[in-house]
Amino acid sequence: MTAAQAGRQVRLWGRRQEIVDEINTHNRNTYYLSDIALPAELSATTSMAEAVDGCDCVLMVTPSTSVREVARKLNEVLAPGVPVIVCAKGVELESGKLMTEVAGEELPGHETGVLSGPTFADETAQRLPTAVTVASQFDYCKDLAGEKILAARLAVSIGTETFRPFISDDVVGVEIGGAVKNVLAILCGMIDGAGFASNTRAALITRGLNEMKELAVALGGQRETVTGLSGIGDLILTCSNPQSRNFSYGVQLGQGRAREDIFDGRPVVVEGIANAASIKRLAQARGVSMPIVAAVYDIVHEDKALAETFSKLWTRPFEAEPRAISIELPHPLGSDGARRLEELMT
């Protein structure tokens, strides 16, 4: 919708024929944006070859677990040299690779970039002011002419009076922000569902941001990027609003709802579930401490109790906040403090 509103010719590829037919016939997608009319010039098809025929750029807006499969199919039909922008947020479990790395492996000869940021789909579709980060690799000293920079070209192509892209050369930092925030949002949701309030959520967001920074730097990204739209911007949005599927999933877990009953049993993609495992594994491989991510992993994948897991997280040894200060002090209450907090939660 945003690209079409910016004056671009847009074709959507979709798996489900009924959704494609509804878009083409009624300019609606009742499954995802039930109350919003789609631009009449927006078309859809189940044929990937038809979708990308003659295109200048491809935006991959698939779940992170599908990026490799879709990119492999895309490589069979995409014309040489057409750039690909990855909008999925995550880390591949088996390889520990970021989404642009996965897409790049399957799409040799195609430049890749990433689009990420605080964007609830329905608000963007309603043309409420929204800002994102678009990143691609470029040499700032050599590529000052914007037409040479993929991120800049995309920003100009899809920017509108309400949709404002910012340009970055830090693909790694942008991707880490988008992937980690989904995991953090699950725990923020669980704490909310369990009855805790703003103090706890603010602390989790802030310390989660620190974990995000450490992993980004370990992978060659920039700490500054994580304090931008694709990091703290997306983190604040996702960790504090029930429109976020990750946050909502966590809320329902925190309320004690059985997993098979979450979202009333509907199949909903919650990226943070898969990414809790992939990011925990990646962090361990890089020697990065991410206790909040590890706590989400223990609850979601190891079936550990929320009260026990959170209590252990909250009563870890005291640390200094500036990472330059190396201090670790035992918690004065020790294991008794964790037990008392666990009792309070239950």
Percent of the chain with pLDDT over 70: 98
pTM for this entry: 0.93
Dihedral sign (CA 203, 209, 212, 217):
negative
Longest dimension (CA), the chain: 66
Task: Please report, as a single letter, which amino acid is at residue 72.
Answer: R
Pick the closest to residue 85 from 114, 121, 61 (CA basis).
Answer: 114
- Active-site entry in 89, 97, 181, 312: 181
- Structural domains in the chain plus CATH codes: 2-169 (3.40.50.720), 179-345 (1.10.1040.10)
181 noted as active-site residue: yes
Please report the pLDDT score of residue 34 as a whole number: 87
What average pLDDT score do residues 267-295 get?
Answer: 95
Residue-wise pLDDT for 234-249, tens only, equals 999 999 899 999 999 9
Please report the pLDDT score of residue 324 as a whole number: 78
Name the least confident of 24-28, 126-130, 255-259, 265-269: 265-269
Does position 181 have pLDDT exceeding 90, yes or no?
yes
What average pLDDT score do residues 103-121 get?
Answer: 96
Give CA–CA dist 298/277, Å, rounded: 9
Check residue 215 and give left, alpha or beta (phi > 0: left; psi -120 to 50: alpha).
alpha
What average pLDDT score do residues 164-174 get?
Answer: 97
Arithmetic mean of pLDDT over the chain: 94
Residue-wise pLDDT for 301-323, tens only, equals 999 999 999 999 999 999 998 77
